[in-house]
């Protein structure tokens, strides 16, 4: 069996890591029964114009030749159209969808076409993979379809155990530096800096790092262990997003190093906060009060086990077996 994974982008985001783990896990599961020819292809480029999107679609069309093709939202339509005739499976990974996510008119048009197609093609060969229960329900309703499956972020829990007993300090991880952050995050940083808390954002892009400006710093970590160690020293991690979040990988990693999370109930992030027994705040003032008055909830340890990589096949097998 041939299994292809198509991805794109200049940064290996949390979404990419989720998709790549799905691909690797699928290959390993199928290889238990038959020979697997696996191919992971990536376009290391940003696509912003009509011409570049057509390039991406053509690339996706040419390379959606596996018996199973795992694709993201922007490569999905070409892969799906090719395999109406090709008769191969296409797994479309959709992390989230929010009309307020700053999408261009071109992207909105594209996703309208993709969603229309998914709603009108109810074949079991075409599956949508969602990252959180919120999005499973959302896409089932959006497409009037049961061909939507849960494959969440899964982690090697033991990798995080060495950081779980690090002493907490007056440090706050403001989450990842992103245009998706709600402006209230800056209000919170200002309030906390007045109480002598050190606040920082993390970033995956070294060129986005910035020195402390009196309220916060934007930090790039060369080593993953340094990122975990810094987050483990924090009294909490903040997840204030202005959009309906897919999940929240940084928040999840924060829980794994026993650093509490405070966030908004937005999309899959709401699932994450509820399941981990984290703190849901409505504004910066509520989060500020929790932090300075040390009002923390106890992390639900069963949450950690639920999203362990040891549970991979428990999530993967229902997708594979539904024909």
pLDDT digits (tens, 9 = 90+) for 146-168: 999 999 999 999 999 999 999 99
Tokens linked to 93: 């990974």
Which of these, 82, 252, 122, lies nearest to 176 by C-alpha position?
A: 252
Residue 32's pLDDT band, with cuts at 50, 70 and 90, is very high
| Residue 182 clears pLDDT 90, i.e. is over it | yes
Q: What would the mean pLDDT of 124-149 be, rounded to a whole number?
A: 95
Contact (CB, 8 A) for 224 and 129? no
* Cα end-to-end span (Å), the chain: 16
Residue 300's pLDDT band, with cuts at 50, 70 and 90, is confident
* 277 φ/ψ sector (left φ>0, alpha ψ -120 to 50, else beta): left
Which has the minimum average pLDDT: 95-99, 170-174, 196-200, 311-315?
A: 95-99
Q: Which residues share a beta bridge with 3?
A: 38, 68
- Mean pLDDT for all residues in the chain: 94
What's the rounded Cα separation, in Å, for the pair 90 and 94?
12
Looking at per-residue pLDDT, the higher value among 191 and 45 belongs to 191
CA dist list (Å): 98 to 138, 175, 248, 266, 312: 11, 20, 15, 10, 28
SS3 43: strand
Contact (CB, 8 A) for 132 and 247? yes
- Phi, psi of 296, deg, nearest 5: -110, 150
Residue 121's pLDDT band, with cuts at 50, 70 and 90, is confident
Write out the H or E segment, with its range, that includes residue 79.
helix 73-86
Which of these, 205, 196, 250, lies nearest to 228 by C-alpha position?
A: 250
pLDDT for 100 equals 62
Chain center to CA of 215:
27
Which of these, 14, 15, 16, lies nearest to 41 by C-alpha position?
A: 16
Q: What would the mean pLDDT of 236-244 be, rounded to a whole number?
A: 95
What's the rounded Cα separation, in Å, for the pair 224 and 275?
25
Other Cβ atoms closer than 10 A to 167: 6
Tokens linked to 109: 């048009």
């Amino acid at each position: 069996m041939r299994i292809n994974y198509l991805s794109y982008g200049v940064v290996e985001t949390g979404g990419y890591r989720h998709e790549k783990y799905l691909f690797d896990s699928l290959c390993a599961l199928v290889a238990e029964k038959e020979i697997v020819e696996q191919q992971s292809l990536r376009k290391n480029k940003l696509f912003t114009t009509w011409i570049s999107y057509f390039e991406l679609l053509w690339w996706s069309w040419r390379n959606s030749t596996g018996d199973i093709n795992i694709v993201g939202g922007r490569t999905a339509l070409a892969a799906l159209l090719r395999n109406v005739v090709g008769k191969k499976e296409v797994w479309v990974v959709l992390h989230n969808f929010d009309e307020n996510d700053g999408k261009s008119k071109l992207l909105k048009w594209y996703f309208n076409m993709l969603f229309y197609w998914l709603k009108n093609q109810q074949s079991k060969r075409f599956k949508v993979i969602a990252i959180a229960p919120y999005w499973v329900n959302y896409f089932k309703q959006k497409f009037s379809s049961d061909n939507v499956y849960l494959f969440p972020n899964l982690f090697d829990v033991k990798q995080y155990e060495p950081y779980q007993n690090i002493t907490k300090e007056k440090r706050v991880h403001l989450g990842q530096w992103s245009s998706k952050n709600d402006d209230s995050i800056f209000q919170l940083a200002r309030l906390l800096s007045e109480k002598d808390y050190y606040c920082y954002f993390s970033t995956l892009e070294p060129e986005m790092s910035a020195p402390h400006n009196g309220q916060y710093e934007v930090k790039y970590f060369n080593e993953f262990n340094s990122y975990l160690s810094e987050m483990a020293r924090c009294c909490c991690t903040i997840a204030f997003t202005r959009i309906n979040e897919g999940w929240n990988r940084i928040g999840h990693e924060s829980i794994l190093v026993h650093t509490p999370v405070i966030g908004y109930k937005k999309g899959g992030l709401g699932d994450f906060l509820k399941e981990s027994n984290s703190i849901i705040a409505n504004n910066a003032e509520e989060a500020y009060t929790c932090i300075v008055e040390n009002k923390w909830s106890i992390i639900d340890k069963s949450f950690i086990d639920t999203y362990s990589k040891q549970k991979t096949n428990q999530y993967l097998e229902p997708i594979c077996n539904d024909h």
